[in-house]
């Protein structure tokens, strides 16, 4: 295991997104990962989830829901702070913490579509780490097709009765609350039937499966959720009935940006580790980095990484101005996750046989990165979205 978060190499084109305030926040996040997360990664991977009190520690430092308004426990800052949190997680080469889904996906649904009572109750608890949250979209057999959701929520007086199951739910095992994508209404109207309903984890009939045995990202809390005649009050409806698909579409572009950010920073971290390894490792009496094949390969990777960095930072500028298009976000997710896969593959090759050993960070990066081309919509779906804009 590495002793601290790796620092990426300086970009060929300097970044200009961040101020001194951002740099100070980044230092806080970096120290948190170095102290609380990196020493425990092996432990988290064995138990298949982080320790519950890690959420409280993150909340105490203001690392959760930072973009939410101050009245709801956040700092009211922009999404550059989210970008910093995700980048530092990647530089720590950590795939265990599910903070971004909690703070930058679930919190946004509640803030954008919830009423004041829902915001006051949930966002404040989420910001402190008192409440861990998840969002339950995917079901067995549905994949990226949200219109095929079969989980139902039938209104019975002042309560919804929820039946169904969800799979691949990040933060599902530790969650105290989950936003569930359900079919509401008596008629099958496809996406027009989808609604979002808040379900507390202590509701009768709600149960969780064991953490799923994944090939990578083993420390991340991911499980199945089951709903058997779960009753929740009508007041738990988020927004309006039948508006779920619209709400999901509004946030999916940002969710894809989150994947692009972690892939970009992950590629930078893998590359930095590899540059250092090739300088330290010797073969035939000289460092691996002195061979032309190594130098040319590193030059190729560095160029691809920096080209993607420029595109991603431009997308982030558009995101801050609320002008980022669905197609641009899809392109960022698709291209940068593909780039990350190429980078970790080439970097592992430069490590030789040691790259296959789990004590080297590049090995874990290699197996952890693969899911990025699948979740938040597969890269094939990203290409479909891009093609629709042509």
Active-site positions read 255
Rounded distance, CA 262 to CA 216, Å?
15
Contact 135, 194 (CB under 8 A): no
Rg of the chain over all Cα atoms, to the nearest angstrom = 21
Q: What is the distance in angstroms between the CA of the first residue and the CA of the last residue of the chain?
A: 46
Long-range contacts of 119-124 (CB under 8 A, 24+ apart): 119/72, 120/72, 122/177, 122/198, 123/65, 123/68, 123/72, 123/73, 123/74, 124/72, 124/73
Residue with tokens 């970790």: 344
Dihedral sign for Cα 259, 261, 264, 270, please.
negative
Rounded distance, CA 268 to CA 10, Å?
10
Pairing assessment for the beta strands 152-156 and 133-136 based on DSSP bridges: unpaired
- Cα 53 to Cα 49, 208, 218, 338, 352, distances in angstroms: 12, 20, 19, 34, 38
> What's the chain's length in residues?
390
* Residue 104 token pair: 């930058």
């Amino acid at each position: 295991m590495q002793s601290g978060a790796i620092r990426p190499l300086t970009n060929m084109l300097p970044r200009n997104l961040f101020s001194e305030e951002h740099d100070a926040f980044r230092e806080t996040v970096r120290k948190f990962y170095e102290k609380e997360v990196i020493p425990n990664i092996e432990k988290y991977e064995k138990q298949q989830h982080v320790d519950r009190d890690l959420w409280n520690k993150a909340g105490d430092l203001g690392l959760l829901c930072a973009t939410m308004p101050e009245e709801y426990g956040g700092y009211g800052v922009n999404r550059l702070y989210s970008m910093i949190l995700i980048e530092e997680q990647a530089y720590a080469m950590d795939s265990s913490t599910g903070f971004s889904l909690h703070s930058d996906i679930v919190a946004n649904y509640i803030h954008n579509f919830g009423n004041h009572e829902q915001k006051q109750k949930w966002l404040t608890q989420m910001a402190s780490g008192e409440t861990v949250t998840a969002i339950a979209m995917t079901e067995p057999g549905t994949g990226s097709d949200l219109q095929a959701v079969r989980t139902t929520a039938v209104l019975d007086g002042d309560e919804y009765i929820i039946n169904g199951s969800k799979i691949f739910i990040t933060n599902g095992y530790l969650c105290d609350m989950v936003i569930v994508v359900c079919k509401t209404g008596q008629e099958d109207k496809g996406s027009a039937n989808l609604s979002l309903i808040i379900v507390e984890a202590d509701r009768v009939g709600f149960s969780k499966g064991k953490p799923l045995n994944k090939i990578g990202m083993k420390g991340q809390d991911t499980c199945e959720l089951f709903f058997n005649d779960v009753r929740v009050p009508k007041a738990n409806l988020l927004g309006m009935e039948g508006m779920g698909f619209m709400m999901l579409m509004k946030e999916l572009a940002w969710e894809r940006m989150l994947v692009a950010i972690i892939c970009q920073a992950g590629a930078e971290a893998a590359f930095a580790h590899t540059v250092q390894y090739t300088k330290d490792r010797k073969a035939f009496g000289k460092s691996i980095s002195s061979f032309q094949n190594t130098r040319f390969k590193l030059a190729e990777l560095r160029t691809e990484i920096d080209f993607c960095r420029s595109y991603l930072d431009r997308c982030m500028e558009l995101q801050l101005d609320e002008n980022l298009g669905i197609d641009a976000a899809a392109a960022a997710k698709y291209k940068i996750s593909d780039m990350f896969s190429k980078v970790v593959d080439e970097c592992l090759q430069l490590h030789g046989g040691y790259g296959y050993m789990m004590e080297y960070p590049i090995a874990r990066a290699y197996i952890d990165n693969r899911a990025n081309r699948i979740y938040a919509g597969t890269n094939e779906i990203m290409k479909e979205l891009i093609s629709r804009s042509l």
